[in-house]
Amino acid sequence: MPFELPRRHEDLRERAVKLAESVRDRAGAADAGTGLDPALRAALRESGLAGLTVPAAYGGVDETVDPLAVTVVREALMAVSGHLDSMFAMQGIGGYALAAGGDDDVRREWLPRIAALDAIAALALTEPGVGSDLRAVTTRVAERDGELAVTGVKSWITNAGAADVYTVLCREGDGHSLVLVPAATGGVRVESGPDIIAPHVLGTVRFEDARVPADHRIGAPGQAFPLVLGTLATFRVSVAGAAVGLAQAALDEAVRHTTGREQFGTTLSRLGPIPQMLGTSWTELESARLLTYAAASRAAADPLANLHWSSMAKVGATEMAGRVVDRCVQMMGRFGLVSGSAIERLYRDARPMRIYEGGNEVLTGQLAKTLTRSSTGR
């Protein structure tokens, strides 16, 4: 696998860095809020980077969504703003199934708007009683009089309330189906979500006999999970990219502090355990970056065949980010505890990443099954 990014991806990362720096002054307020920030949305729209989340046939940039491109962009955005990173990523996560299996007229209606950030997308999978075990969802869809009627409750949904359209996982008969439900549909009601340690747009979506045309079913009836798996296979590795960007930003903060502050006649970076903490953090960060780029390159070639690589990168990078940012707070001492500081934001944002997009323990369990199947020939 390549140890250096292709020139195109370096250029994309530079564009993303420029975008992130252009909103740095606004990022703190946006990250602390629970609504979609209009200034960050306008900046992301102007950059054109949201087009990376949608295929070119429907207004996007590449013929198919490129996981490596999405990953390097998320690395740059997350270093400055979790809100900006989430806004970018969710356009792809919320729209991928539609692009892969939707009715062509419906795709032409929604995907160009998602690519241009004129419409906000969301993926509604989890429920109050359902997290990782998605086959246990209770939201149902039934076909009535040529329409699809959706009834149920989805919780912990990113972009709830801000989204213009939801891709909803439902039971249909003995199987599971995905249904595209515009937010303006009658019977759709949104409630704000809980306050969490890393604030973002989050809420509960209630579907009360919400009716959409039959062509809003995505894919064949009862065949949702290949599309859900395709979404995960394409975007999971990008979580690792975001974790690498977060850890890099935290280490940069620690380096600035420890090289700029003197104690006992020398800089902190030369005192006690600080050199070992800096060196260990840098080593772990660059190791995770290499794994992330290699996994994203494999995912770009064949997302489903390389899902185990994406899972390894996600687990490795998010665990690394937690360790690195914790060390950085420690190296900064009391200055690492200041509310509203960059390091505080990074510390809070690091923790949920080990839970989002598949809890790390769930993923390592799946990796163990893959490893033992390949070892035993089963």
CA distances to 26, 39, 75, 81, 256 from 12, in Å: 22, 21, 11, 17, 26
pLDDT on residue 377: 44
User: What is the reported pLDDT for 375?
Assistant: 66
Contact in structure between 120 and 143 (CB atoms under 8 Å) = no
Cβ burial of 215 (10 Å; 0-12, 13-18, 19+) is middle
pLDDT of residue 378: 45
Cβ atoms within 10 Å, residue 163: 26
Query: Could you tell me the sign of the dihedral formed by the alpha carbons of 68, 73, 76, 78, in that order?
Result: negative
Joined tokens for residue 256:
């600035």
Which pair of tokens denotes residue 24?
């740095």
Both tokens of 193, joined, read: 């979500």
168 neighbors 139 (Cβ within 8 angstroms): yes
- CA gyration radius for the chain? 21
- For position 173, what pLDDT does the model report? 92
> Residue-wise pLDDT tens for the chain (378 aa)?
456 899 999 999 999 999 999 999 999 999 999 899 999 999 999 999 999 999 999 999 999 999 999 999 999 999 999 999 999 999 999 999 999 999 999 999 999 999 999 999 999 999 999 988 899 999 999 999 999 999 999 999 999 999 999 999 999 999 999 999 999 999 999 999 888 999 989 999 999 999 999 999 999 999 999 999 999 999 999 999 999 999 999 999 999 999 999 889 999 999 999 999 999 999 999 999 999 999 999 999 999 999 999 999 999 999 999 999 999 999 999 999 999 999 999 999 999 999 998 899 999 999 999 999 866 544
CB 250 within 8 A of CB 86: no
Per-residue burial over 183-210, b if 16 or more Cβ lie within 10 Å, else e, is bebeebebeebeeeebbbbbbbbbbeeb
Closest residue by Cα to residue 87 from 171, 16, 3, 5 = 16
CB 106 within 8 A of CB 47: no
**If we measure between CA atoms, which residue out of 294, 245, 233 comes closest to residue 93?**
233
Contact 311, 367 (CB under 8 A): yes
